[in-house]
């Protein structure tokens, strides 16, 4: 099944919303930042990659939309607090958080006996603790705003084990469960929290990490569509979960995987 021609028409689904997208400068995060801005949101692109992040925010503004870039390592509490404060200072409130940043360096993964404790901490601190920190400091502003939406970007690796990826897959399973916890704890404040689980998506890190991602997509990994997904295809799932169209959906996990988990 082929992807539709992106960009698709915009419908102002996030008009006047204020969103932070972590890891927002590349791949799925970049597609989400761009899509959210086209749908009317004020977007904070939060990333450790200053060059890409500044360039993307400038591009969004030159398209007549609203965005700033804030340098933020999501595993660093002070930087997370600064990211949230800068967003509220710039846009006046905060109601939407996309927890997308993760450690996507395959060389940091490994089996439990192979991976050093330092590598384990490196992967889990960004991939899972980062979601905790960003949620912790964003949620009080969502409560003030009268509600909000959180979308955690997990992975099919949070549901099935890849092998040789113990810290990453464990952290991604935690990212799904944390969405459920958030859903329960903050429902009374009109805050929804959900998770998406991308399959193999054609992003810069996949091109960096895999010798032949297309061959992998055609073979075992994506049995139904026989291709990699596009970052835009994940961004539209995130948009749906963040938008009022998903008003009765919380604590859910949505696979965006071309059928990977259907096997």
Ligand X SMILES: NC(=O)c1ccc[n+]([C@@H]2O[C@H](COP(=O)([O-])OP(=O)(O)OC[C@H]3O[C@@H](n4cnc5c(N)ncnc54)[C@H](O)[C@@H]3O)[C@@H](O)[C@H]2O)c1
Residues engaged in binding ligand X (CB under 6 A): 22-23, 25-29, 47-49, 72-75, 100-102, 104, 126, 153, 155, 198, 200-201, 203-206
Nearer to ligand X, 23 or 110 (CB): 23
Q: Are 233 and 259 in contact (CB under 8 A)?
A: no
Indicate the residue among 71 and 189 with the shorter CB distance to ligand X: 71
Cβ-based nearer residue to ligand X, 10 or 159: 159
State in angstroms the smallest separation of the CB of 235 from ligand X.
Answer: 10
How far apart CA 241 and CA 108 sit, in angstroms, is 30
Q: How many CA atoms lie within 13 A of 105 on its CB side?
A: 10
Query: Scanning the structure block, which residue is given the tokens 């979308």?
Result: 151
Min dist CB 12 to ligand X, Å, is 25
Strand-strand pairing, 66-71 and 42-47: parallel
**Closest-approach residue to ligand X (CB):** 27
Nearest approach in angstroms of CB 175 to ligand X is: 8
3-state secondary structure of 136: helix
Q: Provide φ and ψ at 97, rounded to 5°.
A: -135, 125
Query: Where do the H-state alpha helices sit in the chain?
Result: 27-38, 50-62, 77-91, 117-124, 130-145, 166-186, 204-209, 213-216, 231-242
CB of 40 to ligand X, least distance (A): 23
Closest CB 137 distance from ligand X, rounded Å:
14
Q: Which is nearer to ligand X, 32 or 66 (CB)?
A: 32
**Closer CB to ligand X, residue 47 or residue 95?**
47
Residue 109 is among the residues annotated as catalytic for this protein: no
9: tokens are 């028409």
- Output the smallest distance, CB 111 to ligand X, in A: 19
Q: What are phi and psi of 54, to 5 degrees?
A: -60, -45
Tokens 């360039």 correspond to 55
Instruction: Output the six-digit token pair for 233.
Output: 């295809």
Distance (Å, rounded) from C-alpha 180 to C-alpha 186? 10
**CB within 8 Å of 114: residues ≥ 6 apart:** 164
Nearer Cβ to ligand X (77/247): 77
Which residues participate in catalysis according to the annotation?
168
């Amino acid at each position: 099944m082929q992807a539709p021609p992106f960009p698709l028409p915009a419908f102002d689904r996030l008009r006047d919303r204020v969103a932070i997208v972590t890891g927002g400068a590349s791949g799925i995060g970049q597609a989400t930042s761009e899509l959210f801005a086209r749908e009317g949101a004020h977007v904070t692109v939060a990333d450790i990659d200053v060059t890409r992040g500044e360039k993307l925010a400038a591009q969004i503004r030159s398209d007549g939309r609203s965005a700033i870039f804030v340098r933020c390592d999501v595993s660093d509490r002070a930087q997370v607090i600064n990211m949230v404060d800068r967003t509220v200072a710039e846009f006046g409130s905060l109601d939407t958080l996309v927890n997308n940043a993760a450690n996507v360096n395959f060389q940091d993964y490994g089996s439990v006996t192979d991976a050093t404790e330092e590598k384990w901490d490196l992967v889990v601190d960004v991939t899972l603790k980062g979601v905790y920190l960003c949620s912790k400091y964003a949620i009080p502003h969502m409560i003030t705003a009268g509600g909000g939406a959180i979308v955690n970007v997990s992975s099919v690796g949070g549901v099935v084990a890849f092998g040789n990826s113990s810290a990453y897959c464990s952290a991604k399973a935690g990212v799904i469960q944390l969405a459920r916890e958030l859903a329960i704890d903050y429902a009374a404040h009109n805050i929804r929290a959900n998770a998406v689980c991308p399959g193999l998506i054609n992003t810069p890190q996949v091109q960096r990490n895999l010798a032949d991602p297309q061959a992998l997509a055609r073979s075992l990994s994506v049995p139904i569509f026989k291709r990699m997904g596009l970052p835009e295809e994940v961004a539209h799932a995130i948009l749906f979960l963040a938008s009022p169209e998903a008003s009765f959906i919380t604590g859910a996990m949505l696979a965006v995987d071309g059928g990977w988990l259907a096997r």
